[in-house]
Chains A and B, each alone.
Chain A
């Protein structure tokens, strides 16, 4: 049995893993998970990842969770081009630094805002108070500012002149929203230019494929939401708000 990747493409960390594997022609079996239906709570999945989270990887007997750990593992195991996760000590440190930083900043703040705008109204039955949304927007803006001023600066990509795992991870957060909607990079020409470079590197074909898979995943959301999952998400939202 080959590499299995357990992914719900509605989740950005799953998209990072999907894009990286596809871009580098790493063969894998895509095990589609639908978080909104509580599939991560199944007994079968618990054998793959006790933490019940996606993305998760199964490579023979070896199982692994945590998106950036998966990315680094795939890069090293499949000996992908050096620029993704450089062997040079300081270049690699730059990538490690960004990957560590983004979890509780860019990615978390974007996820929070997305939740407030899309899932919250559906789960709570009313929109989130404007001040909460404004505060979330401010936090995301701070992360984008830091991304531009501390990481990107005047470089082509986040950690140098070549694309790396850092760009792939940030790209999913900063990608143009599907089906219209506000562009979070609006008013930030440097980041918009960076995004264009990333899009050119990844290639239109893979980006379109990604979008198609996401549309399909979105369609799968139709229908009843697992009640336990709904309760959990409500609790999570209420805590956040």
Chain B
């Protein structure tokens, strides 16, 4: 049996893994784990990843999780072009530095913003207080300032003149932020230019394919959830809103 990738394209780290594998023609079997139906909580999936999170990978008997670790594993295993995750120690370290900062700073803010504005109203029938929304937006904006000033710095891609795993991972998260009505790209020409570079390298066909579901508001309606989905999603919404 070949490589299996357990994904739901509604999740940004899953999209990053999907786009990365496809753009590099890595053969894999797509295993859908529908978050809206709580499928990540199933016993079967628990055998692939006891942490019950996606993305997850199964390569023969070997299983693993964590999107960053998965991207690095794929880059290494399939001996992809050096620019994706360079062998040069300093270039590699800088990419690692960015990935960590992004996952620990930008992504949680994007997720919070998304849940407060989209998921909580759908599940709990109420919006978060205005000050809370404003606070998250301000923090997110500050993080984007940091992204432009410290990491992107007007380069073509995050690590320089060539695309790497850093660009794929962060673009997927940032596109999701646009789903809450934030015009982050229109307001930031440098980021918009970077986005065009990344999209043109990957190709709009694959980009659109990967982002079709997340950009469709219907994907988050209660109609797309079953009772198991509603249960876990509601619990999460309550936690985030508290």
Q: How large is the interface on B (under 10, 10 to 19, 20 to 34, 35 or more residues)?
A: 20 to 34
Let me know if B93 and A73 touch, CB within 8 A.
yes
What residues of A have a CB within 8 angstroms of the CB of B77 in the complex?
A: 89
Is A97 an interface residue when CB atoms closer than 8 A count as contact? yes
A146 vs B52: C-alpha distance in the bound complex, in angstroms? 11
Give chain A interface residues in 54-86, CB to chain B under 8 Å.
Answer: 62, 64-66, 68-70, 72-73, 76-77
Please give me the residue from chain B that is nearest to A239 by CB atom: B135
A96 near B68 with CB under 8 A, answer: yes
For residue A90, CB closer than 8 A to chain B, the reply is: yes
Q: How far is the CA of A99 from the CA of B68 in the complex (A)?
A: 10
What separation, in Å, do the CA atoms of A94 and B64 have in the docked complex?
7
* Given A51-B101, A76-B89, A77-B89, A66 and B96 contact (CB-CB distance below 8 Å): yes
Chain A contributes a number of interface residues (CB within 8 A of B) equal to 28
B72 touches A104 (CB 8 A): no
Closest B residue to A76 using CB positions = B89
> Per-residue CB proximity of B98-125 to A under 8 Å, as 1/0?
0011011000100000000000000000
Tell me whether A96 and B104 are in contact (CB under 8 A): no
* In contact, A90 and B62 (Cβ under 8 angstroms): yes
Name A65's closest neighbour in chain B (CB-CB): B97
Is residue B94 within 8 Å, beta carbon to beta carbon, of the partner chain? Answer: yes
Q: Which of A62, A70, A96, A103 has the most CB of B within 10 A?
A: A96
A149 interfacial contact with B, CB 8 Å: yes
- Assuming the contacts A51-B146, A69-B93, A89-B73, asked whether A100 and B101 have C-beta atoms less than 8 A apart, the reply is no
Instruction: List CB contacts (< 8 Å) of A124-156 with chain B.
Output: 146, 149-150
B residues within 8 A CB of A103? 100, 103-104
Q: Is the CB of A50 within 8 A of B100?
A: no
Give chain A nearest CB distance to B157 CB in angstroms: 18
Q: State how many angstroms separate the Cβ of B61 from the closest Cβ of chain A.
A: 10
Residues of B within 8 A of A93 (CB): 62, 64, 69, 72-73
Q: Tell me if A100 and B51 are in contact (CB < 8 A).
A: no
Contact across chains for B66 and A96 when beta carbons are under 8 A apart: yes
A binding-site residues for B, Cβ under 8 Å: 50-51, 62, 64-66, 68-70, 72-73, 76-77, 89-90, 92-94, 96-97, 99-101, 103-104, 146, 149-150
Residues of B participating in the A interface, judged by any CB pair closer than 8 Å: 50-51, 62, 64-69, 72-73, 76-77, 89-90, 92-94, 96-97, 100-101, 103-104, 108, 146, 149-150
> Which 3 residue pairs are nearest across A and B when measured between Cβ atoms?
A69-B96, A96-B69, A100-B66
27 chain-A/chain-B pairs, Cβ below 8 angstroms: A50-B149, A51-B146, A51-B150, A64-B93, A66-B96, A66-B101, A69-B93, A69-B96, A70-B93, A73-B92, A73-B96, A77-B89, A89-B73, A89-B76, A93-B62, A93-B64, A93-B69, A94-B64, A96-B68, A97-B64, A97-B66, A97-B69, A99-B69, A100-B66, A100-B68, A146-B50, A146-B51
